[in-house]
Amino acid sequence: MLHNGYNFQTTPFYTMSPQSLYMRPDLSVIIPTYNEEENIQETIQKISHILRLTSTPFEIIIVDDSSTDKTQLIVTDLILRKYPVVLLTRTKDPGLSQSVMTGIEKARGSVIVCTDADLSHDVTLIPQIYNEIKNNNTDIVIGSRYMKGGGIKDWPLKRRVISWGATFLSRILFPQITDPVSGFFGIKRDLVIHTPSIQPRGYKILFEFLGKCRWHSIKELPYVFTNRKLGNSKLKTTTMIDFIKQLINISLFPGHAWGELRKMACFAAVGITGIAVNMISLVLLKNYLPLLGASFIAIELSIISNFTINDAWTFKEINPGTWLHRMLSFNAVSVGAMVINMVVLAILTTFGVWYVAANLVGILLGFAWNFIGNRRTTWRV
Ligand code: GDD
Ligand code: MN
């Protein structure tokens, strides 16, 4: 062991080259590692090479959770060979997110970029991420797999499904961001340091920053994620449980995600008033019209009242196009929700599901369609 078995409690063990003390770095690239002997050398060399082509003073911080393989020896060797690297050895509370936080605490740069040690991320983007934060004053820059131009190479189906699920769930809270659980991103160090509510757990530290930090601007840059060629992923079942806990925690936190949940809650409340409008209209109209005609008008009235309240309340600060245009768009999306509701009802009941339960599932899916669809097309946010 490199640290002679000494327990450093909360302070990680430092190894750094005297070279890296000459000039204060402005960019700190943070790489958490656990048993990455096959990848770490190439990762450090590649990043150093790319950043040396720019004029940015940088450091690479390896935050290692006491790897049992040769990771630390390799990093120390690179430090002796004058790579601008700092090695922090953690001995307590192991974890990817915790390690990133240790790295950020000890970083000297004003800009932080986080990436993995397994060459999955396109590190040639790092200078662009840095520029975007430094020169355009963007708070957070995310390397995205899910926007146009991005992608995933060589991932087994299981990993794709897990990632898709995590991305879907996190996008409920951050619909404007395509990859809120990316492991490749840049952020201003001050933003993190001044956010005491951060609870680093699990794998999704970016998601934590998005939910808790007081950011104002975000930019995403596309890249193609390539599965690691060597070594193993450290993703465990407990990592996924950590993510669900984090999702709940962030939903309840009065930060950025809160605004989205407020909209969703308002939209749901309006939906319930719509049911009342529909019922009352139906009862009144059926005295004068045949049942289906009465139902048609009752549905239309509820759509109009839902739209009017949502336009004036849920999305009150957003008014793209004319009122009539938004109203017609809302109508079109609502017809889709109605079709979804009816199709789900028909399918589930043929499989023997009790029609009330089937209708409830239909209503929920219709609601999700209505909310997401109207948010995108009617109010365009
Ligand atoms: N210090 C430390 N402690 N590092 C760790 C730990 C730990 O407990 N577990 C994993 N790491 C390091 C790995 O050595 C690697 O450098 C990096 O964290 C990512 O670990 P992987 O196990 O390769 O993760 P992945 O490929 O399944 O998932 C990555 O990509 C996703 C998509 O961008 C992570 O970056 C995820 O956060 C990300 O969502
Ligand atoms: Mn990986």
Q: Tell me what pLDDT residue 22 has.
A: 65
Amino acid 381: pLDDT: 82
Report residue 111: phi and psi, to 5°.
-115, 135
pLDDT for 109? 97
pLDDT at 1 over 70: no
Pocket flag, ligand 1, residue 235 (CB < 6 Å): yes
* CB-based contact 326:379 (threshold 8 Å): yes
Which residue among 63, 203, 227, 237 is best mutated to probe the pocket of ligand 1, counting the most ligand atoms within 8 A of its Cβ? 203
The pLDDT assigned to 12 comes to 72
Give the residue carrying structure tokens 């009539």.
324
Question: Among all ligands shown, which has an atom nearest to the Cα of 159?
Answer: 1
User: How far is ligand 2, taken at its centre, from the CA of residue 234, in Å?
Assistant: 8
The confidence score (pLDDT) of residue 18 equals: 59
Q: Relative to the CA of 118, which ligand 1 atom is closest?
A: 16
| Res. 237 pLDDT band, cuts 50 70 90 | confident
Ligand 1, atom 19, lies closest to the CA of: 116
pLDDT the model gives residue 234: 85
Give the span between the Cα atoms of 187 and 183, in whole angstroms. 12
Contact 203, 235 (CB under 8 A): yes
- The per-residue b/e assignment along 5-28, b for 16 or more CB within 10 angstroms, e otherwise, is eeeeeeebbebebeebeeeebebb
pLDDT at 17: 64
The pLDDT-based confidence of 247 (bands split at 50, 70, 90) is very high
Q: 120: Cβ below 6 Å to ligand 1?
A: yes
Mean pLDDT of 14-23: 66
Question: What is the 3-state secondary structure of the chain?
Answer: CCCCCCCCCCCCEEEECHHHHCCCCCEEEEEEECCCCCCHHHHHHHHHHHHHCCCCCEEEEEEECCCCCCHHHHHHHHHHCCCCEEEEECCCCCCHHHHHHHHHHHCCCCEEEECCCCCCCCHHHHHHHHHHHHHCCCCEEEEECCCCCCEEECCCHHHHHHHHHHHHHHHHHCCCCCCCCCCCEEEEHHHHHCCCCCCCCCCCHHHHHHHHCCCCCEEEEECEEECCCCCCCCCCHHHHHHHHHHHHHHHHCCCHHHHHHHHHHHHHHHHHHHHHHHHHHHHHHCCCCCHHHHHHHHHHHHHHHHHHHHHHHHCCCCCCCCHHHHHHHHHHHHHHHHHHHHHHHHHHHHCCCCHHHHHHHHHHHHHHHHHHHHHHHCCCC
C-alpha to C-alpha distance for 187 and 113, rounded to whole angstroms = 6
CATH number of 2-255: 3.90.550.10
Indicate if ligand 1 lies below 6 Å from the C-beta of 143: no
Alpha-carbon span 103 to 64, nearest angstrom: 10
- Judge whether residue 8 has pLDDT over 60: no
Q: Compute the average pLDDT of residues 290-312.
A: 94
Burial class (CB in 10 A: 0-12, 13-18, 19+), 106: middle
**Token match 């929920």: residue?**
364
233 lines ligand 1 (CB under 6 A): yes
Is the confidence at residue 211, as pLDDT, over 60?
yes
pLDDT for res 343: 93
- Residue 97 Cβ inside 6 Å of ligand 1? The answer reads no
Nearest to 143 by CA among 77, 210, 223: 223
Substitution candidate for ligand 1 out of 13, 29, 30, 33 with most atoms within 8 A of CB: 33
Q: Across all residues in the chain, what is the average pLDDT?
A: 92
The fraction of the chain above a pLDDT of 70, given in percent, is 96
Which residues neighbour ligand 2 (ion) by CB within 5 Å? 118, 120, 228
% residues pLDDT > 90 (the chain): 78
Sorted by where each begins, the domain ranges of the chain are 2-255, 258-274+311-376
Nearest to 117 by CA among 230, 272, 285, 246: 230
Q: Relative to the CA of 120, which ligand 1 atom is closest?
A: 26
Give the mutation target among 89, 234, 237, 242 for probing the ligand 1 site: most ligand atoms within 8 A of CB.
234
Which protein residue's CA is at the shortest distance from atom 12 of ligand 1? 33
Distance in Å, CA 115 to ligand 1 centroid:
9
Predicted confidence (pLDDT) at residue 5 exceeds the cutoff of 70: no
Distance 64 CA to ligand 1 centre (A): 12
How many of the other CB atoms lie within 10 Å of CB of 310?
Answer: 26
> Is the C-beta atom of 202 inside 6 A of ligand 1?
no
